[in-house]
Chain A
Amino acid sequence: MNLKRPAPHKRSGRALSAREKYIPTAISVVTVLAVVFILRAVITSSGQWPRIKAQFFSMDAIIEVFPKVLKGFGVNMTVWIISLVVIAVWALLLAVFRSLHGPWFAPLRIFSIIYIDLFRGLPSLLLVLLFGFGIPALQIPGLPRSSLFWGASAMIMSYSAYASEVYRSGIDAVHDGQRSAAKALGLTQWQTLFHCILPQAVRNVLPSLLNLAVALQKDVALLSVLGVRDAVREAQIYTARTFNYSSLIAAAALFLAVTIPMARFTDYITKRDRQRRLQGAS
């Protein structure tokens, strides 16, 4: 007896009646609203709520501190965008070094492996402190002495190690037949890499890279430990002066305003990528 039967298709079967369509939605909406109202009632009715509100959600404090936090956030965004560009290039270079064949390129391969092991193995915060305070303290003539510069460099060093491994996984995922085909057409190792392998590799790993970009956007705040007046630092300064934490909430809102759209964009790219693969496979 054949027990196999086709799996039901999501969009197959009879059409849903209006009742079947809307009742689940209506129940969900009512439930969520009920929970929100109950939580709100419980929180606002507790004796502590006015204190919490004043400490974290004081509109006056937020309005007062917002221009400074926003200005600090500008520093975050600038560092983030410059770092992204440098990391995208430097990490790709590291991944390429590591994927080169032949004894001539052994030094580059070994350099890349050591670099990645080192910078991926150390906490970002430690690197930021080491670079941001350590290098300016040497007072070497000709080198920049700005903590911001060296702190950002530390972030770039650290994230490049991760991004390079992401690129490498993308390079490894390109089918071996592509190399054979390129070689048989007479392309050199470099031409194969630039025209055939890397474009496919980058397309393979774009969602993972965007994910790293979101992580970096938040980690730029680590530079505040160097005294760089970014959003977090500005918020801390206000907190230290007034013992009010609303400034941190203001900074938090700014971070979310960037990271959430970025996360949605990553989802969109991931989905598009998956559809492309499914299409290619069929």
Chain B
Amino acid sequence: MYRIEINNLTKYYGDNLVLNNVSLKVKNHEVVCLIGSSGSGKSTLLRCVNDLVPFNEGDIKLDGVSIHDSSFSANELYKRIGIVFQAYNLFPHMTVINNITLAPRKVHRTSRSESEEYAEELLGLFGLGDFANSYPEQLSGGQQQRVAIIRAMANRPDVLMLDEVTAALDPELIGDVLSVIKDLRKKGMTMLIVTHEMSFARSVSDRVCFLDGGSIIEEASPEKLFSKPENPRTQQFLQRIIEAGRL
């Protein structure tokens, strides 16, 4: 059985076709990277998977059960599939620890002491132990993004989705965030990652999907996709990335 199974997903924004018959299967403990130029539908695909945006046709299953099945309350789905955004979206009026424990306390009814204990464990694990009582704006972008990842992890999700989490960061801050993600991979986290960091995608993923015009054009192991891409459009995309010096 697959952890996530996306079958023939089609989505329009108005008359605009954003996702065209996309199918993708992700096994447990697998890390899948989605690459492609802006507007190719990568982020929309993630947002469909945890029901942040509705889709028109097709089906998404989590552990074999459709995400629209009545046995899934919205909370249950959000608890099991975490997502981290490009712009961190931390709550600016709450301390780091409150940002992290808000959902466990309010949504999952975990006691404050228990959720804080777990939050502090995660903070310590990712080198942010000293910042539990800081406010987001007192942190660097890289630290904020790591807090956002911890916030998603605090729900103990089965799947973590990362939507261009390093796109807004200074180059020297990207490394810390990427190493957090590599740690999560070692711990066996199932992840669906949208990224523009090709060398990162190459080293962290089990599979890479290249999206273009709302479809998965090519899906292969990172070694194969980055060194011997078959589709001419994938070749063209990677050629441009190499010319820009980003691979």
Contact = CB atoms under 8 A, between A and B. Distances in A.
Interface string A169-194: 00000010110111111110001000
B162 to A, nearest CB: 12
Interface SS of chain A: helix, strand, loop or mixed?
helix
B91 interface: yes
Nearest to B81: A184
B103 A185 contact: yes
Given A180-B89, A200-B92, A186 B75 contact: yes
B52 A183 contact: yes
A196 B108 CA distance: 17
A178 B136 CA distance: 13
Interface residue tally on B, bucketed by range: 20 to 34
Given A181-B91, A183-B78, A199-B93, A191 B137 contact: no
Contact of B102 (A185, A200, A203): A185
A200 B92 CA distance: 8
A139 interface: no
B87 interface: yes
B51 to A, nearest CB: 9
A196 B52 contact: no
B151 A185 contact: yes
Contacts of A191: 106-107
A134 B233 CA distance: 77
Given A196-B91, A279-B137, A184 B102 contact: no
A187 B109 CA distance: 12
A182 B151 CA distance: 11
A134 to B, nearest CB: 44
Contacts of B85: 177, 180-181, 184
Interface string B29-53: 0000000000000000000001010
A186 B74 contact: yes
Interface string B55-95: 00000000000000000001100110011010101111100
B107 A185 contact: yes
A181 B107 contact: no
Given A185-B151, A186-B79, 12 more contacts: A177-B87, A178-B89, A180-B89, A181-B91, A182-B91, A184-B78, A186-B74, A186-B78, A186-B108, A187-B102, A196-B91, A200-B93
19 contacts: A178-B89, A181-B89, A181-B90, A181-B91, A183-B52, A183-B78, A184-B78, A185-B78, A185-B152, A186-B74, A186-B78, A186-B79, A186-B103, A186-B108, A195-B102, A195-B106, A200-B92, A203-B93, A279-B137
Interface of B: 50, 52, 74-75, 78-79, 82-83, 85, 87, 89-93, 102-103, 106-108, 137, 151-152, 155
Interface of A: 175, 177-178, 180-187, 191, 195-196, 199-200, 203, 279-280
Q: Sort A-B residue pairs by CB-CB distance and give the 6 closest, nearest first.
A: A186-B78, A181-B89, A185-B103, A177-B89, A186-B107, A186-B75
